Amino acid sequence: MSRPRLIALLLALATLAVFLPATRYGFLNYDDNEYITQNPFVKNGLTGTDLRWAFTAFHAGNWHPLTWLSHMADCELFQLNAGGHHFGNILLHAANAALLFALLRRMTGRTGAAALVAALFAWHPLHVESVAWIAERKDVLSTFFALLSLLAYAKYAAAARANKTEARGQRSEVRTRTYYAASLLGFALGLMAKPMLVTLPFAMLLLDFWPLKRVANGQLQVAGREPGQPPPASGNWRLVREKWPFFLLTAISCVVTFFAQHQGEAVVSLAKVSLRYRLENAPVAVANYVLNFFWPAHLCAVYPLPLKIPALQVATAVAALALITAAVWRERNAKPYLLTGWLWFLGTLVPVIGLVQVGGTAMADRYTYIPSIGFLLAAVFLAQDLAERFRIPKPVRAGTILILLAGSVGATEFQLQFWRDSETLFRRAAAVTPNNDVALVNLGVALEEQNRHPEALETYRQAEKLEGGRYQLHHNLGSVLDKLGRPAEALAEYREGIRLRPGSAVLHNAAGSDLTALAQYREARQEFAEAERLDPQYPWPHVETAKGLLKQGRDEAAVDELRAALRLAPNDYQILAYTARVLAANENGAARDGRAALTLAAKSNRLAGGSQPMVFDVLGMALAENGDFTNALTCAQNALTLATGAQMKGLEPLRGRLERYKAHQPWRESFRATNAPPAKN
């Protein structure tokens, strides 16, 4: 094995080792649910219907079909085993480290510097978010294709130069065009993983300046021109013109992303975050990114927008960035890597710097994944040149590099531990950033998922004091109040949410559910009808309507509503399980259908991955209704084991079902008196 290949392999293996602890972590309540655990298209794996969805859906405010395909492939291989999904991210990040080394070495010929840039890129704590967060697969995947694109571009540039300076045959021309086509294909695939790559053609122009040296003294270098001869005016745009297909893809991606994010309601309006505020935040965010490269002590998952940005902070950031830019411009001939690296850093940050506000955050560590390449390139090559200029002994250089890399790995391991679960992640965010309502809301969700409802309620109330104008927060408050058995208070929260967001089918459905709990059936039906009008494809109004009908003793009409819900969501394991329960355990014989109940319960258990105690419980009911008491006992015992492990309360009815199955008796219940719903969606 050659030395460069050995270095690339060692970089990849070391990167795998650094991030391997993440394979023990679970899914987060922060986009992992929307991307994977509660996304029926992704959970199904690589099926024909789901593949079509990947290429046609504007889901989660994005169009990135290759990202969806990668998550589907993980589900096909690992189901909902989070460790496998984490390993996919880590593997791509390790591959990116090796590819970055190969790219920089090819373009610059400086093996040591290229290896150091790649190592710092791979092991810097700023990149923990992109790797340890499963939903950020789009970062590592898009960069994988971007680096492949740039590698092909570097080969194209070398082949094109050779073709101009030497007499080459048709085979060389074909090779040149092949490299160009491969670069364009890599760029297109990268955009289909994450549209942040739209600035890559501009980065290619920077690489043309240095290290590819297709630009000299600010003018395009034209093959065959005598030294000192001024280039023709038409030559000044040759490098731009040759990239017109790349710019076309950039334009198309920008348009598609604009529509996707507006449809997904991810873009924050100017009324909420003014243009002046965005212009103030942009330089401050860039300056903070620079500081975090050198002192990544307070990294976290969510950086809230501050209520006000001090004018002195804005002026200081602008002045610092202007001074750095002026310095690298002055050194553009003596140290051209400074200009390329710095402008790469600034330019690739432009799509995410906050001028178009998406998600309402001041900055995000994941946004530095590609921009950091330029920053690290400039810093490492400058340090190497200074070390040679001042003749620093090689042992001192090696020791400094080892300390730097060890510190980077240590900081990465420290930051990685906060991504083990949602509670740890958002407690950290709330601790290191003031007034972080987003972190508090997600922390509340994590506590609610652990059935720590009083703590969740208190956490939501803290978030409400900081920002009470989020309709999602009022939905969360209503949800936890429901679980605490306080439907009247929950209804008030849903009403406030509806006031803030009258077009939310979810809120109208939740309000209807509480009206049902309060026996206000007519008003509940009005809310369900409004939810159906707002979103005809939303199945839960039918489920909640069925619950109201069951309470009124109209069981057969309730079954019709449940079947209507299943027509809209045939793969929702919760709706499948609840329908199976009604069909298997209803004391009203006219509404029972044991065979259909068993089919639905088995499908629900399969979709849930055999991990939900509620589903095993229902499957036991269905088996008992069909006279299979042996397997009914097994399912009930599985349900009890899982529920006990999850520290769930109220398990006496489940134990009672075990005794009935032992006596070869099916389970019966009155839904008029007992209506324990699955968790709200």
Residue 273 has pLDDT above 70, yes or no: yes
Mean pLDDT of all residues in 495-502 = 96
Residue 439 has pLDDT above 80, yes or no: yes
**Residue 166's pLDDT is what?**
61
**Closest to 436 measured CA to CA, from 309, 308, 278, 303:** 303
Task: Indicate the angle between helix axes 371-389 and 82-108, nearest 10 degrees.
Answer: 50
**Residue 323's pLDDT is what?**
98
Mean pLDDT of all residues in 467-496 = 96
Sketch the domain layout of the chain as residue ranges: 3-222+239-417, 571-681
**Residue 588's pLDDT is what?**
92
Q: Calculate the CA dihedral of residues 201, 202, 207, 210 and round it to 10 degrees.
A: 160
Q: Cα 8 vs. chain centroid, distance in angstroms?
A: 28
Which residue's structure tokens are 């694109």? 149
Integer angstrom CA distances of residue 542 from 399, 447, 517, 549, 674? 67, 29, 16, 10, 18
Q: 31-43: string of b/e by CB count within 10 Å (b at 16+)?
A: ebbebbbebebbb
Look over the chain and give the mean of its residue pLDDT values, rounded to a whole number. 91
Chain segment 275-287, per-residue pLDDT in tens? 888 899 999 999 9
Q: Cα 571 vs. chain centroid, distance in angstroms?
A: 23
Higher per-residue confidence, 677 vs 188: 188
Got the DSSP string for 224-247? TPPTTPPPPGGGGGHHHHTTHHHH
How far apart CA 337 and CA 315 sit, in angstroms, is 27
| Residues contacting residue 68 through CB under 8 Å, at least 6 positions apart | 41, 42, 53, 54, 57, 59
| Residues contacting residue 269 through CB under 8 Å, at least 6 positions apart | none
Give, rounded to a whole angstrom, the gap between the first and last alpha carbons of the chain. 55
Q: Is the separation of the CB atoms in 145 and 122 below 8 Å?
A: no
**Residue 355's pLDDT is what?**
73
Q: How is residue 286 written in tokens?
A: 């860039």
Cα diameter, the chain: 100
- CA 415-419-424 angle, to 5 degrees, is 100
Integer angstrom CA distances of residue 454 from 28, 353, 445, 465, 486? 21, 38, 12, 17, 12
**Closest to 540 measured CA to CA, from 562, 558, 570:** 562
**Residue 619's pLDDT is what?**
97
Chain segment 34-76, per-residue pLDDT in tens? 999 989 899 889 988 899 999 999 988 889 999 999 999 999 9
How far apart CA 378 and CA 338 sit, in angstroms, is 5
Which band of pLDDT confidence, cut at 50, 70 and 90, is reported for residue 406? very high
Higher per-residue confidence, 284 vs 224: 284
Mean pLDDT of all residues in 596-617 = 93
**Residue 228's pLDDT is what?**
43
List the beta bridge partners of residue 59: 62
Which band of pLDDT confidence, cut at 50, 70 and 90, is reported for residue 24? very high
Residue 679 has pLDDT above 60, yes or no: no
One-letter amino acid of 560: D
Options 2.60.120.330, 1.10.10.10, 3.90.1150.10, 1.25.40.10; CATH for 571-681 is 1.25.40.10
